[in-house]
Structure 1
Amino acid sequence: MTAASTPAIAPAPALLTAVFEAASEAMVLCATADDTVVLANEAARSLLPGMQPGGPVAAPLPADGADSFQTEHEGRRLYGMRRPVGDGHYAWYLRDRTESAALELERSRTAFLAEAGRRLSASLHVRRCVRTTVELAAAHLADAAMVVLPPHRRHSEWVRLLPGLPAEEGTLREPTLGEVPGLIEALGGFPPIPSRWLDPAQAPAWLVPAGFGPVGALLVIPLPGNAEPAGALILARCGPSAVFSTEDETLARMFAARAGAAISAATLYREQVDTAAVLQADLLPPELPQTDGFELSGSYQASSDALRVGGDFYDVFAPAGAGADTVIALGDVCGTGPEAAVLTGKVRQTLRALCLVRTEPAAMLTVLNEALLQSARQPRFVTMVVGSVRRTDHGRVRLDLASGGHPAPLVLRTDGRVEEVPTSGTLIGVLPRTVVRPATVELAPGELCLLYSDGLTEARGGPSGTEQFGEARLHQALAECRGMPGAATVDRIRQLVADWVRGGNSDDIAMLAVRAPSRTPLSLRGGGAPTPSPYVAAARRADRRPRNRS
């Protein structure tokens, strides 16, 4: 028998009904003529209990001939597709998307919290963190968001934002905070008051900008901080039917915890920066005083850009009375960073106290050695040069110098020779008894004495990147500065070292130059132009050289 001659076997109606009932997908078969329900399987009847065979098509199924719908029905999220079935009938295929919608909502909330954490942790600036908080809250949680910071000097700063509008800022007097329901409690760190307990009608007019409309729902949440609240978050929704659901309040509290932590961290960072700035201002090299009879020039460069102070330092103590010498000091504390900076401050304060009793430089180092041995919690030593400077009756500058384990100062003579000052001594803060061999040097007009730290000669760079700048290069560089002012000499040496290092790491570098002012002889008796220094003359010759204008 051929396939063409095989008779078609039609399934019995009872079999089709059984298959229809056994389907896992909810299906409703309807008549096209009068929109009545012909069949509804068990899955459909569980979703829509009122949908029975013989009855009319009722909500949530649309009766306008739509091909699909998506709606909320008795707490469930339903989706349906309409398909024609033969002549005179059509079927609705229904799906329950309640769980998938809840999962999608949870995913969106998780994504929001992740974005909030990322954006809030991107900055340690208080105002920027507050701005980010109101931006996120206004975009995801409410129609308007406002952050109020804790009172400071009886005023509180606030930032408010509505989507699509620029942020507004201002301050509130402390008595005004009580006009917002729950705000005092939130700023005090108390648990948030549920929104259903807050009367939006009690919100003051200044809480939202003009044109916002009536506040339909209000939520005030504390921003938890580090040991104390970081502020309060105020959320408002517009319209008489606006509400905050339990899920909304839970999400808002989770967001507030992240925002409060970010604002608290930024506030703590600002306090630390302000404290560090105050401490650094006292530890940085001083502004050099104007002295009568000699020039002072200094330069300091810390090893770290993040910390402006370190282990190297210089200081100048102006005379407290008539006839007193100016005291100069340059030293290098063991180590770098904050610990070295703290010890630097102790050394400078000790020297300042010794200057008040006009102690000689060698005696200063002896007393300082005893002070460090008695106060140090761990072995710390200092190398330094201390000197007294004064102008002599013969127009020269005299320096009495004492060194404690520090590189010897260099003297630049008028003929370009570079000499080491013959002073030496033991490290300060190591041995019970320090040995100091002081020396005296006189500077003729135009001559210069340079005190420097070993970070200058030990700076590594050059062609290999590891070679030290060294004493020989320092002597040569100093000799080339013959005739230059003290400030220009210090700047040139600093630039040469920077070029040698070429942006690499180096230790702290400190320099202090003492220069006897040059005499200004006249070329003709009774008048005429003063003879320029070799440095000025060289600069003028360079200006007269032809320049490449290509």
Structure 2
Amino acid sequence: MFRIQVAWSKMPKGGVGTSGDSVELVERPLGGVTLILADGQGSGPAARRISRLVSMKAVSLIADGSRDGAVARAVQDMLYTAREGRVTATLALLTVDFATRSLVISRNSPAPVVVRQEGRVFRIDGAAEVIGTYRRTKPQVTELDLVEGTICLTFSDGLSQAGRRYGREIDWAAWDARLAASDVDQLADLVDALMQDAVDLDQGRPGDDISIMALGVRRDDQSSLRRLSASIPF
């Protein structure tokens, strides 16, 4: 039996109380879970409305049984139609599908998905257009085997830009090494530490919304217990 671990962390742009990013977790009707990260154009409440529109449409489609590639295309068509091609958003889906016993990664985002699998750290990146601008935009979809110890991690562009105002940036070589050595049970600590690194690089005042989400797979002790915890300010 496998157990799925998930973790996410969000920080709004410095001086803006509302993050323009949305992160959601939805259970799949045939078994499995999907993590959703949507980043609306801009920042603050206006961007939040866009990301919520995108993420809630994705949640609804996944709950109805749609596959991730179809979900991403339908969300793109919805946003393009609703905003007449004038608003963009990014969308990333990380799925563990129990029915196919696979990991499915769907990207409409410039940010890569960083994967640790069987002792190797690699990136799923390359061309993946943002949604909302062009009628025929398609997602980049990658399917991987469901392997014990796998970790998938992705983020919004605020993480990629962290520190650049000060001539600094995330040391990905160091983080790849840390990811390679991490246990799946340490996923929340890993995400929190990466967020703190980004905030420190921006000297405590992020230049853009930062969101990080991660999903891991480990062997289980046959327990059927499910748990979820969160920490949310208001």
> What range describes the TM-score normalised by the shorter chain of this pair?
0.7 to 0.9
Contact 1:446 1:519 in 2 (8 A): no
The CA distance in 1 between the partners of 2:146 and 2:9, in whole Å, is: 21
Give 1:483's aligned amino acid: S
The answer for the alignment partner of 2:110 in structure 1 is 406
Say which structure, 1 or 2, has more relative contact order (CA 8 Å, 6+ apart): 2
Larger Rg: 1
Q: Secondary structure at the match of 1:479?
A: helix
| In the alignment, structure 1 residue 510 sits paired with structure 2 residue 211 | yes
Residues 1:495 and 1:310: Cα distance change in structure 2 (over 3 Å) = closer
Q: Secondary structure at the match of 2:107?
A: strand
The CA distance in 1 between the partners of 2:143 and 2:85, in whole Å, is: 34
The CA distance in 2 between the partners of 1:407 and 1:306, in whole Å, is: 22
The answer for the alignment partner of 1:491 in structure 2 is 192
Q: How does 1:311-330 map to 2 (within 5 A)?
A: 311-319=20-28, 321=29, 323-330=30-37
- Structure whose residues are more often strand by fraction: 2
Q: Deviations over 1:250-305 (max 9, x none)?
A: xxxxxxxxxxxxxxxxxxxxxxxxxxxxxxxxxxxxxxxxxx72101111111145
The answer for the alignment partner of 1:35 in structure 2 is none
| In the alignment, structure 1 residue 457 sits paired with structure 2 residue 164 | no
| Deviation of 1:426 (Å) | 1.9
The answer for the alignment partner of 2:145 in structure 1 is 442
Count of residues in Structure 1 that have an aligned counterpart in Structure 2: 217
Q: Secondary structure at the match of 1:420?
A: strand
Give 2:104's aligned amino acid: D
Q: What is the percent sequence identity of the aligned residues?
A: 20
The CA distance in 2 between the partners of 1:391 and 1:404, in whole Å, is: 23
CA RMSD of the aligned region, Å?
2.5
Residues 1:516 and 1:325: Cα distance change in structure 2 (over 3 Å) = closer
Give 2:103's aligned amino acid: L
Q: How does 1:135-534 map to 2 (within 5 A)?
A: 293-304=3-14, 306-307=16-17, 309-319=18-28, 321=29, 323-376=30-83, 379-391=86-98, 398-415=102-119, 417-421=120-124, 424-460=127-163, 466-470=166-170, 473-481=171-179, 482-484=181-183, 485-517=186-218
Contact 2:117 2:150 in 1 (8 A): yes
Contact 1:317 1:326 in 2 (8 A): yes
TM-score w.r.t. the length of structure 1 is 0.37
Unaligned runs of 5+ in 1: 1-291, 521-550
TM-score w.r.t. the length of structure 2 is 0.81
Q: Deviations over 1:443-467 (max 9, x none)?
A: 5322311021111121125xxx522
Unaligned runs of 5+ in 2: 222-234
Give 2:10's aligned amino acid: Y
| Deviation of 1:486 (Å) | 0.8
Residues 1:352 and 1:300: Cα distance change in structure 2 (over 3 Å) = same
Give 1:313's aligned amino acid: S
| Deviation of 1:518 (Å) | 5.3
Give 2:114's aligned amino acid: L
The CA distance in 2 between the partners of 1:515 and 1:475, in whole Å, is: 20
